[in-house]
Amino acid sequence: MLYILKVNFLLVLFSIIYYVFLRKETFYQVNRFYLLAGIFCSFLLPTIFFENEIEVFSNLEVENLIIENQLNETIITEKTEYTKWIFLGISIISVALVSLLFGKVLLLLQKIKKLRKKEEFGISYVESKNENEAFSFYKYIVVSSKNVEKEALKKILIHENIHVKELHTLDILFIKSVEALFWFNPILRFYKKAMEENHEFLADQKTVEKNAFSSYDYQKLIVQLQIKNTTMMGNSFKKQSTLKRRIVMLQKEKSASRNLLKILVILPFLASFMMVAQVEKKEIIKEVKEEKPEVIEKEILILKKEKADKEAKRLKQIKKEKKAKEKKKAKVSKKKKKIAKKKALKEAKKEKIAMKKELLEEKRRVLEEKRAVIAEEKRKMMDEKARIKDEEKKKKLMSSYEKRYKEEAKKEALKRLIWKDENGNVISRYEFKKRLLSEGIYEVKSDGETYSLALKS
């Protein structure tokens, strides 16, 4: 487990140095060597150890102390046995990913071998069925010549042929295998990207310089043919992720030779790594003569002090851890209490709101009942008033109808009367009334009714 951590630490170190100091330089072949050497050194250096010899005087008590220290170390190692299970899980996933990678490689080779072979400009290649595809893998160049001009096809084939001759596929497979082994290290993605970019820069540089192509026309071709590639295994001429960097590096002037010294920046870091992480202490036991018991006693005292110091440090560390745990527990308990208080307050507020709502509902219900009673009483009163008014109207109408009827009846009765004088001659009603009034008669009875006389026609 410690070896894996050291390897990944060195890979991260090589990546950082490359991105800070070497990525913008035009020494593409040197950069390729640096990136490959970085992987090899990351695997190799953690296996190299240096010994630091320490003289220890042989004595029974000293030997007992050494045995005690060894026992303590075995106890510590027993406590960390769970790391073996972690290592086992990481190993299983790594093996599965490496197997998957090589399975993809085999499938890609089978797919390439089924395609039709061609030759143009003295370069053999395989005709791709996918339009606008161009990449190289191992010794094969896969290109689709459909809708591609001859001059453009020539540049693409020369570019991919450089990848094949330089064996860039082996670099890619190597870094992909490392990435599969150490899948938990995200820095390896940047390491792989740096290697792929450097391959493209190198191929672009050699294509332009050795074939006397115009740099501008070549850049224009790169921009025109930038389409997503269907394979992620080989070196692709049409990879969008490297477009901007490729054009920038083609336009850039060659780096000064003194800039090569930047590669030496990694050396002090590697030296410090070897001094700190790769030095092992080796105890050389020397026999002590009986003539020098003072030396033995001093050595015993030194060992006892060292042991006491270690024990004191261990106890201090345990106390610190206990205090830290207690603080964490206290914080957690405080947080829980606060959360419980907040919950209680929220529940109390909810209960109060519910009680208020219930009281308001009760008040509303009572008010509605009162309003209903008052409305019913009002309605009854209005109905009673309306009934009384109707009765009064009916009485008035009846009285008026009766008066009118009586008057009309009297008129009709008067009309029915036949007016005659003393000789039996019929005279007008007016003449009859006039005679009666002259004689002092003012009322006439007929059929039990009394009629008042007035000089009206």
Q: What is the pLDDT of residue 442?
A: 60
Q: Please answer whether residues 43 and 7 qualify as being in contact, where contact means their C-beta atoms are separated by less than 8 angstroms.
A: yes
pLDDT at 175: 92
Domain locations along the chain: 2-287, 326-416, 417-452
Contact 196/232 with Cβ under 8 angstroms?
Answer: no
Q: Pseudo-torsion of CA 17, 19, 20, 26, nearest 10°?
A: 100
pLDDT band (50, 70, 90) for residue 413: low
Confidence of residue 74 (pLDDT cuts 50, 70, 90): low
Parallel/antiparallel/unpaired status of strands 279-287 and 50-58: parallel
H/E stretch holding 269 reads helix 266-277
Confidence of residue 246 (pLDDT cuts 50, 70, 90): confident
Distance from C-alpha of 303 to C-alpha of 289, rounded to nearest angstrom? 19
> Are 138 and 109 in contact, with CB atoms under 8 Å apart?
yes
457 secondary structure, DSSP code: -
Q: How confident is the model at residue 55 (pLDDT cuts 50, 70, 90)?
A: low
* pLDDT tens digits along 338-382: 898 888 998 898 989 999 999 999 999 999 999 999 999 999 999
DSSP SS3 for 78: helix
Residue that the structure tokens 């303590």 belong to: 72
CA triplet 42, 48, 49: central angle to 5 degrees? 130
Q: Are 60 and 239 in contact (CB under 8 A)?
A: no
Among 26-35, 304-313, 343-352, the minimum mean pLDDT is found in 304-313
Residue partners of 379: CB distance under 8 A and separation at least 6: none
Q: Are the C-beta atoms of 247 and 141 separated by less than 8 Å?
A: no
Give percent of the chain with pLDDT exceeding 70: 76
Asked whether the predicted pLDDT for residue 98 surpasses 70, the reply is yes
The two three-digit tokens of residue 230, written as one number = 């269907």
In degrees and rounded to multiples of 5, residue 80 shows phi and psi of -100, 25
Strand pairing report for 116-120 and 50-58 = unpaired
319 alpha carbon, distance to own chain's centre? 40
Binning pLDDT at 50, 70 and 90, where does residue 429 land? Answer: low
Residue 104 pLDDT level (bands cut at 50, 70, 90): very high
How far, CA to CA in Å, does 232 sit from each of 73, 104, 394?
48, 10, 109
Burial of 227 (0-12, 13-18, 19+ CB in 10 A): middle
Whether the per-residue pLDDT at 392 is higher than 60: the answer is yes
Averaged pLDDT, 86-90: 84
